[in-house]
A and B are shown apart, each in its own frame.
Chain A
Amino acid sequence: MKRAVCLILSVLMLVPFLSACHGSKGLKAFEMPDGLDENKEYRITFWAKNDTNKTQVNIYKNAIADFEALYPNIHVELRLYTDYGKIYNDVITNISTGTTPNVCITYPDHIATYMTGENVMVPLDGLMDDPRFGLGGSEVRFDSPKRDEVIARYLDEGVIGGKHWALPFMRSTEALYVNRDYVEKLGYTLPEVVTWDFIWEVSEAALRKNDDGTYFLNGGSVMIPFIYKSSDNMMIQYLRQAGADYSDENGNIGIFSDATKDFLFTVAEHAGSRAFSTFKISSYPGNFLNAGQCVFGIDSTAGATWMGSKAGHQDISSDKLVDFEMAVLPIPQVDPDNPVMISQGPSVAIFNKKDPGEVLASWLFAQFLLTNKVQIAYAETEGYVPVTEKARKDPGYEDYLARAGEDSELHYSVKLAATKLLLDNVDNTFITPVFNGSASLRDAAGELIEATSKSARRNETVDEAYMEKLFKSVNALYRLDQRGESAAERSELGKLPATAVVLLSALGAAWLGIGAYGIMHIAKKKKR
Chain B
Amino acid sequence: MKKIFALILAVLCVAAVCAGCKKPAPEPEKDVKGEGVMTYAEYMAAAIDAPVVIETYVQAKQSWWENKATLYTQDHDGAYFIYNMTCSEEDYAKLVPGTKIKVTGFKAEWSGEIEIAEGATFEIEEGSYIATPVDLTALFGTDELIKHQNEMFSVKGAVVVAIGQNDAGEDAAFFYKWNNSGEDGDDLYFKVKIGENEFTFTVESYLCDKTTEVYSAVKNLKVGDTIDVEGFLYWYEGANPHITKVTVK
Contact residues of A with B, CB < 8 Å? 50, 52-54, 56-57, 80, 82, 280-284, 287, 315-317, 320, 454, 457-459
User: Which B residues lie within 8 Å of A282 (CB)?
Assistant: 109-111
From 178 to 211 in chain B, residues with beta carbon under 8 angstroms from any chain A beta carbon are 178-183
Q: A-facing mask of B102-114, CB < 8 A → 1, else 0?
A: 0000101111000
From 96 to 152 in chain B, residues with beta carbon under 8 angstroms from any chain A beta carbon are 106, 108-111, 117-118
Q: Across the interface, do A52 and B177 meet the contact criterion of CB distance under 8 Å?
A: yes
User: Which B residues lie within 8 Å of A458 (CB)?
Assistant: 49-51, 106
Q: A-facing mask of B210-240, CB < 8 A → 1, else 0?
A: 0000000000000000000000000011100
Query: Contact partner of B111 among A56, A284, A454, CB < 8 A?
Result: A284
Of all chain B residues, which has the CB nearest A80? Answer: B183
Sample (17) of A-B pairs whose CB atoms are under 8 Å apart: A52-B177, A52-B179, A52-B181, A53-B181, A80-B181, A80-B182, A80-B183, A82-B182, A281-B108, A282-B109, A282-B110, A282-B111, A283-B111, A287-B111, A454-B117, A458-B49, A458-B106
User: Which B residues lie within 8 Å of A50 (CB)?
Assistant: 181
User: Which A residues lie within 8 Å of B118 (CB)?
Assistant: 280
Q: How far is the CB of B189 from chain A (nearest CB, A)?
A: 11
From 66 to 114 in chain B, residues with beta carbon under 8 angstroms from any chain A beta carbon are 106, 108-111
Of all chain B residues, which has the CB nearest A272? Answer: B49
Distance A458 CA – B50 CA, assembled complex (angstroms): 6
Of all chain A residues, which has the CB nearest B48? Answer: A457
Q: How far is the CB of B54 from chain A (nearest CB, A)?
A: 17
Distance A284 CA – B111 CA, assembled complex (angstroms): 8
Query: Contact partner of B237 among A82, A316, A454, CB < 8 A?
Result: A316
Q: What 5 pairs across the A-B complex have the smallest Cβ distances?
A: A283-B111, A54-B181, A457-B49, A316-B237, A458-B49
Q: How far is the CB of B182 from chain A (nearest CB, A)?
A: 7
User: Which B residues lie within 8 Å of A80 (CB)?
Assistant: 181-183
Query: Contact partner of A287 among B109, B182, B237, CB < 8 A?
Result: B237
User: Which B residues lie within 8 Å of A284 (CB)?
Assistant: 111
Distance A283 CA – B108 CA, assembled complex (angstroms): 11
User: Which A residues lie within 8 Å of B180 (CB)?
Assistant: 54
Distance A458 CA – B178 CA, assembled complex (angstroms): 34
User: Which B residues lie within 8 Å of A54 (CB)?
Assistant: 179-181
Contact residues of B with A, CB < 8 Å? 49-51, 106, 108-111, 117-118, 177-183, 236-238
Q: How far is the CB of B166 from chain A (nearest CB, A)?
A: 11
Distance A281 CA – B83 CA, assembled complex (angstroms): 12
Distance A54 CA – B237 CA, assembled complex (angstroms): 22
Distance A458 CA – B118 CA, assembled complex (angstroms): 13
Q: How far is the CB of B82 from chain A (nearest CB, A)?
A: 16
Q: Across the interface, do A52 and B178 meet the contact criterion of CB distance under 8 Å?
A: yes
Q: How far is the CB of B238 from chain A (nearest CB, A)?
A: 6
Distance A80 CA – B180 CA, assembled complex (angstroms): 12
Distance A50 CA – B108 CA, assembled complex (angstroms): 29
User: Which B residues lie within 8 Å of A82 (CB)?
Assistant: 177, 181-182
With most chain B CB atoms within 10 A of its CB, the pick from A284, A317, A457 is: A457
Distance A190 CA – B218 CA, assembled complex (angstroms): 50
Distance A316 CA – B50 CA, assembled complex (angstroms): 27
Given A283-B110, A287-B111: A317 and B237 within 8 A (CB)?
Answer: yes
Distance A54 CA – B111 CA, assembled complex (angstroms): 24
User: Which A residues lie within 8 Å of B179 (CB)?
Assistant: 52-54
Distance A464 CA – B181 CA, assembled complex (angstroms): 48
Q: How far is the CB of A130 from chain B (nearest CB, A)?
A: 35
Q: How far is the CB of A480 from chain B (nearest CB, A)?
A: 17
Having A281-B110, A282-B109, one finds 13 other A-B pairs with CB under 8 Å, namely A50-B181, A53-B179, A53-B181, A54-B181, A56-B181, A80-B181, A284-B111, A315-B236, A316-B238, A317-B238, A454-B106, A457-B49, A458-B49
Distance A316 CA – B117 CA, assembled complex (angstroms): 22
User: Which A residues lie within 8 Å of B237 (CB)?
Assistant: 287, 315-317, 320
User: Which A residues lie within 8 Å of B183 (CB)?
Assistant: 80
Distance A82 CA – B183 CA, assembled complex (angstroms): 11
User: Which A residues lie within 8 Å of B110 (CB)?
Assistant: 281-283
Q: How far is the CB of A461 from chain B (nearest CB, A)?
A: 15
Distance A270 CA – B110 CA, assembled complex (angstroms): 19
Q: How far is the CB of A485 from chain B (nearest CB, A)?
A: 24
